Structures are given as C-alpha cells and as structure tokens.
Chain A
Amino acid sequence: MKSFKKIIALMLACCVMFSMTACSGNGGNADGNNGKHVKIGVGLYQDSGAAVDAVKAYLKNLESTLNVEFAYTVLSTNDEALNITKVQELIAAGCEGIIITMDAGMDAILAECRDAGVYLAGYLCDFDTSYRNNYSGVFENEYFLGTVGDGPCGDHTTRGVDFFNSVIEYNERNPENPIRHVAGTVFPAFAFPYSKVNFDQFVAEVEKYNAENPDKAITVDPFNEETDVLMFKPVDSTYFSKHPDIDAIVAFNAGSFVYPSMVSAGVADTMKLFAAGYNDGDNAVFGSKGAYQQEMVCAVESITYPLVLLLNKINGASYSDQPETAERRDCSTMIINSDEDLAKFEHSIYLTFQPEDAFLTPEEVLNLTAYANPDATYAGLCEILDHMTIEDLK
C-alpha cells in the first residue's frame, strides 16, 4: 500500500511540476504586416551568464512586435550527437526556424531541417570548419540561411590589431607606467584556428611599432607551445616562471582562463590583462580597479541578422539584393579598454538586461524584414552589424 501511495505521489508531483512549467505560448495570429506567428528555436552555447540573459531579454522584447516566440536549448562545441538531438527537440517543439551557435554535426542537422522543412541560421559562430571543409554542403544548402560571426570571421580577423591598439591606448593613458613587456596565450589551433593567427598579427603590429618607435619598444616573449596554448584549462602556474618580468598578458581567449591564475600567483595587482570575451563580474577588476585592461564582446543584438533571415524565409519574403548563397557576416566588436568604455558598456543591454538599452527597438527590427518593409534590403540588414561598437552605444 505504501508503494502505491509513493507511486501516486510521484505521478502527482510530476503532473504538478509539468503543468507548472508547461509552455504558455500566446498562440496569437499575425496582424497587419508583422508576419505570421512563428516559433524560433535558439541553441545557445551555455545556459546561463550575462550574455545568455541579455540575448533572452532582447528576444523577449521582440516577441509581440514580430509575432514570434522563442524556445531555447544548449548545444555542445564538439558533441555532434547532442547537437542533433537538441535540434530535433526544437523541431519537435514546433520551431519553424532555428538559430544555432555551434558548427558541429552540420550535415546531419541540415538533413533533419530538410526532412522537417525547418530553416537554420547561425549566430556568434563563423562556421569555419564547414566554411573550409564543407562549403557546398552547408553554405549552399537551401535550409541554411547564413551566419553572423563572433566578430570578424576567418581571414577577416583583426583581433591582433585590436589588442595592439588597446595596449598602445593604455600606454598613452599611463605614460608613467607603460607596458613594455608582454606574453600571450591562445587556444589550440585545431579548435580555434585563428587564435594563434591573432597572436601573430599582434606580434607583427608590435614589430612595426617598434621599428617606428624604438624608444618605446615593446617586447613580446617568444611563443611557448608548452605554456601559451591553453587546452581549455586555466593558465598553468609555470606560465609566470616561463615568462618572467612581463607587464601584461595578451590573452586571445576569455580572461577567465588567465585571471584566476594571476591571482593565485600573486601578480594580479601588478600585471595587466588584455583579454577577449567578457565574464560576469569582470567589471569589478577592470581598468583603474584591477588587472583587466581590455575585453571584447559582440553585441547580443547581432542575433537580429539570423532572426530576420529566418523570419523572411518563413514568411515567404526575400530582399531584392538577397545573395544566392548563404553568407557568413562579420560583426563589429565592442572593445572595452578604459573606465569610460566600461561605464558605457555597463549601460548596454549586455549588463542591464533592459531592452530599452539595446541597439535596436522591436519596430526597427521589424522594419528590417522584407515582408514588413518592401524597401528593406539585405545590405541594410548587414549594415546594422557594423554599428554595434562601444562608440555606437546610446
């Protein structure tokens, strides 16, 4: 009898839990020119964090104006089977378009999209593996509409130059205590092929600068395969002994892979850190308050590009200048390298999660679609991606 009670209690608990958490889609119909009601799946790279909360806040604000609802899932960087399953689940949940942030298992994923009549687009991902090895299978696939990268894509990369500019800007702001000696960190080439390219680009810029400014020369430690390639683990404690007397680290990866090791080694108060990416809480140790002197992120509003492409396709509209095959577009980067920049960044949707702090309003996004605005162009859609820098923040 006790067992029966337990079973009934379990089932009731499940029912209550399911009913409490069940989807509450609005089921509304399209009015006017804001398109039919559409459900879009969004496969993110993690399930929490500032960027995730910000993108959800941004998309939530678009729902009523664009007559769209969103379903979320989390993908894996390199577990293709999981990605396929997650895409299948989004399709099963009724999504007619899916935005994904990973380039793994694309052939199988696009086969699923073909079978279900669902379109796919990319966000924060340059699909570099597919671009180099499977261009026709992915970029020429009718169900793949295009992607926007996490900054400049592939060979367009300017990260090394950006890092160099940030170091020089720091030196100009701190002439009494300039950075003269740096070392770098990168991710392994097989996973991030442009990470080392960016470092080399940085070195080339420094060499050019040194030739023109021998009195202000900056020394870059020779690249050390053993310590400078981070296998998705924090910097090893030997890093600091291999790179003695450095003033700063230029980390072509998230600062979270470096900063904790700097703290452990007791150098966080004296050494500076120029990093890619932004993590929650970094602003507390940024600029005059700590080691971080540069961070860079892409605006969450860049998701507008894949979203609008999907909505156009689902609503049967296209631009007059729509390219024949899918493209991967560069996105401007918000480079934060001063207290002033940070103050502006702290008022962006990335940190406030307030839709009114976004680069685009729902009406502006609707106006970018081909079905709501016959004059809208693909060039216009791409142009917004160029205006999401720290200078463009309102």
Chain B
Amino acid sequence: MPENVKTGETASQQTKEKVTFAGFLKSHATDLMAYAGLAVMLILFVVFNSGPRLMYNFGSVIQAAAVYAILSLGAVFIYSMGFMDVSLGQQVGVYVIMMILIGNKIGGIGGVIIGFLLVLALALVCGAINGAVSIFLGLPSIVTSLFLMFFFTGAQFLLMEGTGENTIALEVASALRPADRNAYSLMLIGIIVLLALIGTYFFKYTKLGKYTRAIGANKVAANQSGISLVKWQVLGYMALGFCTAVASFVMLTRTGTAGKGTGSGYAMDIMICLILGGMPLKGGMKSKISCALVGALTYTLLSNVLTTMGVPLQWVNFVKALIFLIIVLLTCRKSTGILPR
C-alpha cells in the first residue's frame, strides 16, 4: 500500500516538523526575546526620533554603545565559562588615565600609541592573573576580580591625585578621531564589526570558544575530557583583557579626558548588556557572541529612548529596573533558579 505508506510518512514528517518547530522556539526562546527586545527598541527609537535629528541620534547611540559592545564581546569569553569580572570599570578608568598621562608625556599620536601598547600589555597580564589566580587558589572568579577592582580603584585614585586635577585631558585628543561626526560613527562601527568578526571566529571556530563554552557547560566533564582549565581560563580572561584595552582606547577617542570616576559602573552595565542580549549567566554551550552586540545596542537604545520619550528622570531607573526584572523572570529556568538558564 504505497499510498498508505506515503500518507503515513507525510503525517510523520508533519508531526516531526511541528515538534521541530516547537523545539526550535523552546530552545531559542531567550534569543528570540533578545532580538524582539532590540526590535522594539529600534522601532521606538525611530518613532521618537523621526525628523532631522534621527541621524544625529543614531550617531549618539553608536558612540554610547561602542564601549559597551567591545567590552561585552570580550566578556562573552568569560561569561561563557560561568565567570564574571567586576573590575572592568576600574580597569577602563585606569587604562584611559594611563594613555592620557603617557600620551601627554611623550607627546603626539606616537605617545598615545605607546600608551595604548603599554595598556594592552597590562590588560593582558591582568587578564592572565585574574584567570590563573582563581584556579591556583581555588577561588571563585569574582573574588579575584574583586581584588583587581580594589587595586584599580586605588590606582585610579592615586593617579588622579598625582595630577592635582579632577579631570585630565589628552593634548592630541582631536587627532584621534575624524572631525566629521558621521565619519567617527563609521569608524566606531568598523571597529565593532572587526572585533565582532574576530570574536566570532575565535568563539565559534577555535578551541578557545569551544573549550570555554565546554567549561561553562560542565567544568568537571571538560577537565576529564582533557581540557586544561588553567590554560583556557587564562586565555579567556586575556581575550577580555584585549577587548578592555581596545574599549579604553575607544572611550579615549570619544571623551579625550578622564577622571577618577571614568569607567565607574561598567562592570554591572556589561552584565546587564549580556543578559539583555540573551547570554546565559551560567555560561555553557548556548553562549553566543551575538549576545554582546544585541545586548549592548538594546541597553543603549533603552536609555536613549526613555530620555527622548520624556520619561521623567525619577522614573528612568525604575523603568530600566522593571524591564530588566521582567526579562530575567521570563528567561529564568524554573527548575534551577532565577538566573537565565
């Protein structure tokens, strides 16, 4: 009975397709919600910015999102292992101050480049320390990053105190970026895209990404499979260090100045960006580079849209907190707790 067989196969296929589609929705619910959140923000952004200032505001969003996006791209490598780094903001603050001090001391663009290279080296060393110490001492990663946070807080304070000023400015700041605002926005987009491509390559197609995700999914199983926890944890943190140095440079191109508050709050902002982007805080195989970009854009657009909509000042943080809470609750894994998956 070919007909019956054929009919039976079709029904089976249809059932399979239904199950697959439902399964797809279920397994990608967090991603879909993250993209939906970004889409809603983009729609609101266009609606409330229609007119001559749309392009201006688009540039503003790119400027504000750039540092978040670059830091988030690096943070994906450690969040995928289920770790976090609370020293990010203070590191950014110290790195920007160092680049200004070194740049002004040596002079010219060359001084800034030397400053950046030194900062890059320091960021990589700090990343390595952050990753290695927690393994060697058996400490939670947040504890070692707390140590770095206090260290950099003190360093930032001492550096600024040494200048005798509340804020310091880079003498060649105007030379670091195109004078034209749109050209600067394009430059930032270029940096973000380039880093996203590099990040995607390393995270998706190399051992670095595969092993860090494996460590996040099951540390013991990963270790027993021959994955060196020390090596890949250190490399993951160094990837974040690289992005932190680049983000600091990007921040310097934007502000041209730094103070003792530069970078404050960035560690929490990055965590929020990643959650808004659909990043599972426990890390694992569902971690994606796209979470960084989606989250950074959504977070920046949210702040921008709330202001352009005229939401009263005292309600802005409340609305942000409410949206954040709703997203966390919607994406929670009921069987295990309140954090996304």
Q: Nearest B residue to A104 by beta-carbon distance?
A: B167
Bound-state CA distance A76–B60 (Å) is: 18
Please tell me if B134 contacts chain A, counting CB pairs below 8 Å.
Answer: no
Q: Digit string of B158-174 for contact with A (CB within 8 Å is 1, else 0)?
A: 00110111110100011
Please tell me if B341 contacts chain A, counting CB pairs below 8 Å.
Answer: no
Counting contact residues on chain A (CB < 8 A from B), the size range is: 35 or more
Which residue of the partner chain, among A17, A86, A116, contacts B319 with CB atoms under 8 Å? A17
CB of B160 within 8 A of CB of A190, answer: yes
Q: Which of these binds chain A: B106-114, B226-234, B257-265?
A: B257-265
Please tell me if A154 contacts chain B, counting CB pairs below 8 Å.
Answer: no
Which residue of the partner chain, among A3, A81, A86, A92, contacts B56 with CB atoms under 8 Å? A92
Most chain-A Cβ atoms within 10 A of its Cβ — which of B53, B259, B327?
B259
Please tell me if B146 contacts chain A, counting CB pairs below 8 Å.
Answer: no
Bound-state CA distance A92–B56 (Å) is: 7
CB of B161 within 8 A of CB of A190, answer: yes
Known contacts A3-B29, A23-B310, A104-B259; decide if A81 and B254 are in contact (CB<8 Å).
yes
CB of A92 within 8 A of CB of B57, answer: yes
CB of B310 within 8 A of CB of A71, answer: yes
Write the nearest CB–CB distance from A106 to chain B, whole angstroms: 8
* Chain A neighbourhood of B262, CB < 8 A: 78-81
Please tell me if B63 contacts chain A, counting CB pairs below 8 Å.
Answer: yes
Which residue of the partner chain, among A10, A47, A80, A89, contacts B330 with CB atoms under 8 Å? A10
Bound-state CA distance A88–B33 (Å) is: 28
Bound-state CA distance A91–B160 (Å) is: 31
What total of chain B residues lie within 8 Å of the partner, measured CB to CB?
A: 59
Known contacts A7-B36, A11-B36, A91-B53; decide if A84 and B319 are in contact (CB<8 Å).
no
Which residue of the partner chain, among A81, A92, A104, contacts B60 with CB atoms under 8 Å? A92
Please tell me if A85 contacts chain B, counting CB pairs below 8 Å.
Answer: yes
Q: A47-B313, A79-B265 are in contact. List 16 more A-B contacts (CB 8 A).
A: A7-B33, A18-B311, A21-B310, A21-B311, A76-B264, A77-B259, A79-B261, A79-B264, A80-B255, A81-B262, A85-B303, A88-B57, A88-B63, A91-B57, A92-B307, A108-B255
- Interface residues of B, Cβ cutoff 8 Å to A: 25-26, 29, 32-33, 36, 40, 44, 49, 53, 56-57, 60, 63-64, 67, 157, 160-161, 163-167, 169, 173-174, 181, 251, 254-265, 303-304, 307-315, 317, 319, 322-323, 326-327, 330
Could you list 8 A-B pairs, sorted by A, with CB under 8 Å? A3-B29, A11-B40, A92-B49, A92-B57, A105-B167, A107-B257, A129-B167, A190-B165
